[in-house]
Structure 1
Amino acid sequence: MSNRIQSLDSLRGIAAFVVIIFHVLLSFSLFYKADKNFEYGNVIAKIFNETPLHMIWGGNEAVLLFFVLSGFVLAIPFQIGKQGSYKNFIIKRFVRIYIPYIAVMTLSVVLMVSLYEYKDATGLSEAYENRWNHDVTWRAILAYIFMINYDTANVNGVVWTLYHEMRVSLIFPLLMVPLLKLKPIKALMVLSAGVIFSLIITISPFLLLGRSDLTLIIRDFGFTAYYSVFFILGAFISTYRRVIVEWTSAQSEKFRLLMFVVSIFLINGKWVVNIIPIKSTLLLYSPLSGIGIGILFIVVLSSPLANRLLTVKPLLFLGKISYSLYLTHVLVIMLTTIAFEQIGHVMWAFILSPIASIPVAYLAFRAFELPSMQLASRYSRKVKERKNALEISKVL
């Protein structure tokens, strides 16, 4: 992995930590109301919401960064002809995502069922109250196994993003065909048409038939189609990164600094849009954030200064454990708050949980994530060995 790609991985680690801060602050009504309804209990909440300081706890924007980065990284093997067969691609992707996911979800369910009655949400927000809120049904367990977005907030609400990751992975080789075969504009037109068509098919049942478990599940696949746009953005930047980086690198450091500033404002699109008298919606602000993330990637890939800052060892470590950090931090928040509630000092739990999340994530990385990566690597080697043996047998 080149230093420039490592620097993007550090961004993933930073984004994962931002999600932790987001879920810690969202546990308080002051920040929950600010995030959901733009209701501010004081001027500090307003400043932390309607300025670029929002990036400190911009959990939704951090998730979009995950999607863009996934698209960027997944596209690389296709560009050099090392993606392998569709079957091999999906198996490796499944092993990489699903094994750590199901391991952490199993642990979360066991601990939640054992401890949720000890939770006291007095004085905390609706977001905190909805975590570890009620017993887990068999219906929910089946949904977790098959990665269906049903009652996830009760156990570990962050996993909804992994469902979209897994679904987009199933169609990702298809998304790469236009990018590799067509000119940039035509490729984007074809992919845009595909996304719009998918949205119509998946959202229509909910609009026509009303709310039901089935239409909600189908609608969730519509959200997958929507979020696939961010994977496509990452894949597009990855495919044309040499041309993009060559042009950006030729510009002055001041110009790249300007690009960075613009990216920060666009990433905070939801809050920037709210300053303007326009109703903020997902369809409006998320594309702004996506464009900002794309510009940020370009700056990181083309700026020696950004590369040096992002390849320091602590950030590289954070990037390495970012998936486990993302998967386990809600579990850490809940365990620490329940523990400190028993001694009447719950505020300490929210202060300590971001720090405690790092060693827990490292343990999860060693226990679940690293073995899944090794399993995927062994599978790749065996596939390559079988392919080489077959080619030799043909020659003989």
Structure 2
Amino acid sequence: MSRNGNRISSLDGLRGLAAGIVLIHHASLIAEPWLDPAGWALLTQSPLKLLLAGSEAVMVFFVLSGLVVALPALRPGFSWARYFPARLVRLYVPVIAALGAATLLVRLVPRDASTMPEDSWMQDTQATHVSAADVLSQMTLLRSDYPIDNVLWSLRWELFFSLLLPVYVWLALRVRRFAVPVAALTVVLMFLGRAGGNSALAYLPVFLLGTLIAVRFSELRDWAARPQVRRVLPWVAVVACTLLIASWLARPLTAGTIAADLLWALAGAGAALLVILAVVWPQAQRALGTAPMQWLGRVSFSLYLVHAPILATLCYLLGAEQWWLACLVGVPLSLAVAAAFHALVERQSQELARRAGTIGAALADRAAVRRIRTARQAALARQ
């Protein structure tokens, strides 16, 4: 398995692939009102949906976070005092920068929702005006809706998971011997959350799937190295992809039923299997380790943050009927802006996060020294 420092290159590639799919997904939502319904059904209710599976790609992000954020916490010498400030800086600095840039775009390019197709992604989810209160409230990542940069809805759950990481790690370690049945229970919780309209119950369990992978990481690699297992991994990939988009493949039969919610939850299992395959299947490692996938992986967070405001702004700038031009220009422009954002903002946030972690660890060490000194003084006073 190729590693770059403490990073696993195939997981970087998978993250890049997922970010690219989210980009194409949002471009497809711009195109949807202008496409023939039969053509749209062909795109979304067939295996072609894998290329447009944006919501499902976010589940892959969640499983990846559950794995890669938890892995360091399982190593000796891990410092929670270092982790929390570093993680918060790592999340918030790029989010604030992206939100500021998106706000500027809304201010610069006039937006009138009535010029967009009825009940479309452009009309229903994109801000047409902003206020300071809007920006500040969305900056907290505590809202349920994010019209200025609507991908931030998922960062809300990333934030909650990051704060709850000690609970996730504790739970995963306690149930590690029963990882498979617990993973099945996790999918059940996702189903209950989806069916009951409880977003926290629908999404937060997805991170646990990644944390369960983390606590069984070595065993999974050893298991997958067996020749009899290696032979069936291509079929596991087929199953994973099918589970990921099962709710779409079955949509003509299950739309509006409880079965649709169950199939939606199975996408979490598909996402977890794809993450496992990325670290145990040589063919997947080779594909995800190619230069384009690695580049996408490096800028994936930046791409995720910047692409939706760019696509929306181009639609308003060019006009609804020029949707095809907005997509044609918006996709490569998003990639270029993501590269610049990564260089100018994300890399700086990584350095700031390291500094914040160092400060947090130093403060914790000082507090520990003071506690020890106080305890010694109290013990001497009792003698």
TM-score class normalised by the smaller sequence: 0.7 to 0.9
In the alignment, structure 1 residue 328 sits paired with structure 2 residue 324 = no
Per-residue CA deviation, residues 122-147 of structure 1 (Å, 9 max, x unaligned), is 45762112354432245423421322
Match in the other structure for 1:163: 156
Does the alignment pair 1:234 with 2:210?
yes
Query: Which residue of 159, 169, 176 corresponds with 1:176?
Result: 169
State the match for 1:10 in structure 2.
Answer: 13
Partner secondary structure for residue 160 of structure 2: helix
Letter in 1 for 2:68: V
Q: CA deviation at 1:353?
A: 1.0
Q: Distance in 1 between matches of 2:31 and 2:179?
A: 47
1:351 maps to a residue whose letter is: L
For the residues of structure 2 that align with 1:31 and 1:70, how far apart are their CA atoms? 36
Q: Counterpart of 1:364? A: 341
Indicate the residue corresponding to 1:50 in structure 2.
45
Distance 1:192 1:293, change over 3 A: closer
Larger CA deviation: 140-149 vs 62-71: 140-149
* 1:96 is aligned to 2:99: no
Matched position secondary structure for 1:306: helix
Q: Distance in 2 between matches of 1:304 and 1:190?
A: 24
Q: Structure 1, residues 16-71: CA drift from partner, whole Å, max 9, x if none? A: 11111111111134489xxxxxxx712x3222222221011111101111101000
Shift of 1:328: 0.2
Distance in 2 (alpha carbons) for counterparts of 1:262 and 1:375: 41
Instruction: Report the RMSD for the aligned CA atoms in angstroms.
Output: 3.4
Is 1:130 matched up with 2:124? yes
* Alpha-carbon separation, structure 1, partners of 2:34 and 2:169: 40
Q: Residue deviations 1:332-369, cap 9 Å, x none?
A: 21233344339x85422211211111110011112221
CA contact (8 A) 2:277 2:284 kept: yes
Note if contact 2:254-2:260 (Cα within 8 Å) is conserved in structure 1: no
387 and 188 in structure 1: CA distance in 2 versus 1, 3 angstrom threshold: farther
Alignment partner, residue 242 of structure 2: 265
Letter aligned with residue 262 of structure 1: V
Corresponding residue of 2:111 = 117
Q: Quote the residue 2:353 is aligned against.
A: 376
Match of 2:292 among 298, 314, 320: 314
Contact kept in structure 2, 1:152 and 1:160, CA below 8 Å: yes
Partner of 1:211: none
Paired residues of 1:121 and 1:128 also in contact (CA < 8 A): no
Tell me which moved more, 122-131 or 254-263. 122-131
Taking the aligned partners of 1:177 and 1:191, their CA distance within structure 2 comes to: 18
CA distance in 2, matches of 1:110, 1:49: 33
CA distance in 1, matches of 2:117, 2:254: 32
CA contact 2:82–2:359 (8 Å) conserved in 1: no
Counterpart CA distance in 1 for 2:367 and 2:123 is 58
Out of 238-247 and 381-390, give the one that drifted further: 381-390
SS in 2 for 1:321: helix
Q: Report the AA paired with residue 28 of structure 2.
A: L
Residue number among 300, 315, 327 corresponding to 2:278 in the alignment:
300
> Could you tell me the TM-score, scaled by structure 2's length?
0.83
The TM-score with structure 1 as length reference comes to 0.80
Counterpart secondary structure, 1:116: coil
Structure 2 residue runs of 5 or longer lacking an equivalent are: 374-383
Instruction: Give the letter for the 1:41 counterpart.
Output: P
The residue number in structure 1 matching 2:376 is none
**1:301 CA displacement:** 1.3
- What letter is aligned with 2:14? L
Task: Indicate if the aligned counterparts of 2:237 and 2:274 stay in contact, CA closer than 8 A.
Answer: yes
Letter in 2 for 1:158: V
> Aligned pair in 2 of structure 1 residues 390, 338: CA closer, same or farther (>3 Å)?
closer
Question: What are the superposed Cα offsets for residues 310-334 of structure 1, whole Å, 9 maximum, x if unpaired?
Answer: 1112211100110110000012212
The amino acid that maps onto 1:19 is: V
Question: What is aligned with 1:72?
Answer: 67
Partner of 1:212 in structure 2?
Answer: none
2:106–2:313: 8 Å Cα contact kept in structure 1? no
Which AA in structure 1 matches 2:37? G
Instruction: Give the Å deviation of 1:283.
Output: 3.8
Q: 1:280 to 1:235 in 2, by over 3 A?
A: same
Equivalent pairs counted in the alignment come to 363
Counterpart of 1:141? 135
* Equivalent residue number for residue 41 of structure 1: 37
Give SS of 1:26's match: helix
CA deviations 1:80-135 (Å, max 9, x no partner) are 134312x4322111101111001111221122023133778345762112354432
Residue type of the partner of 2:170? V
How far the C-alpha of 1:389 sits from its partner, in A, is 8.4
1:156 counterpart SS class:
coil
- How many Å separate the matches in 1 of 2:66 and 2:260? 20
Is the 2:31–2:323 Cα contact (8 Å) retained in structure 1?
no
Residue in 1 aligned with 2:31?
28
Whole-angstrom distance in 2 between the partners of 1:377 and 1:23 = 33
Please state how far the C-alpha of 1:151 moved relative to its aligned partner: 4.6
Q: Is the 8 A contact 1:116 1:132 kept in 2?
A: no
User: Is residue 347 of structure 2 the alignment partner of residue 354 of structure 1?
Assistant: no
Deviations 1:238-293 (A, max 9, x none): 21021122112213554111111111111112113325557266741232111112
State yes or no: 1:108 paired with 2:85.
no
Structure 1: segments with no counterpart, 5+ residues: 33-39, 208-218
Q: 1:82 to 1:341 in 2, by over 3 A?
A: farther
Percent same amino acid at aligned positions? 25
1:247 to 220, 223, 230: 223
Q: How many angstroms apart in 2 are the aligned matches of 1:78 and 1:133? A: 39
